[in-house]
Amino acid sequence: MSNILDAATIGGANALARDDLGRIATNDLVLVDLTVPHLRPVRDPLRSFVCYAADRAVRDVFVDGRQVVADHKVLTRDHDDAAEGLRDAQPRLMERVCGRDYRGRRAEEISPPSLPILE
């Protein structure tokens, strides 16, 4: 199980070449809500958290002693602003897919929409 946790934390940081991420430091704390349905029944909370619940179960987070998540809400990011930025970036990213795909396929060919797109 620790291999999965390492892959999700240290492994992810290593893949990004970021040695400043992926490790819980002395002044860091993550509080997990064990009442989240994805963690029930609470037999193996670490496995359930990593494999099933993930961010849904994170209640509070403190980084370097400063609270950055409170009652499941990220305090350091404006969600509406972030969603708007993603919405604005999506068309540009979709146009670049064929240039990055080894077969030159468009995004719709690689991952067709489940429902028809109405424009």
What would the pLDDT profile of 7-60 be if each residue is shown by its tens digit?
778 888 888 888 888 877 778 888 889 888 888 888 888 888 888 888 888 999
Same domain, 33 and 60: yes
In a domain, 13, yes or no: no
Give pLDDT, residue 71: 93
Q: For the beta carbon of residue 67, count every other beta carbon within 10 angstroms.
A: 12
Same domain, 57 and 70: yes
Q: In what order do the strands lie in the sheet with 73-74?
A: 29-32, 58-63, 66-70, 73-74
In a domain, 33, yes or no: yes
- Identify the residue with better confidence: 7 or 101: 101
Same domain, 98 and 57: no
- Full domain range(s) for residue 60: 25-76
Classify residue 48 as exposed, middle or buried by CB count within 10 Å of its CB (0-12, 13-18, 19+): buried
Does the pLDDT value for residue 1 go beyond 60? no
The C-alpha torsion from 76 through 81 and 84 to 88, rounded to 10°, is: -80
Query: Parallel, antiparallel, or unpaired for β 73-74 and 29-32?
Result: unpaired
Least Cα distance to 94 among 116, 111, 117, 114 occurs for: 111
Tell me the whole-structure pTM to 2 decimals: 0.60
In a domain, 19, yes or no: no
Q: How many domains does the chain have?
A: 2
Q: Which residue has the tokens 């719709």?
A: 108
Cα–Cα distance measured from residue 104 to residue 87, given in angstroms and rounded to the nearest whole number: 24
pLDDT in tens, 62-94: 988 899 999 999 999 998 999 999 999 999 999
In a domain, 9, yes or no: no
In a domain, 17, yes or no: no
Terminal Cα distance for the chain, rounded:
46
Same domain, 34 and 47: yes
In a domain, 51, yes or no: yes
Give pLDDT, residue 2: 64
CATH of the domain at 72: 2.30.40.10
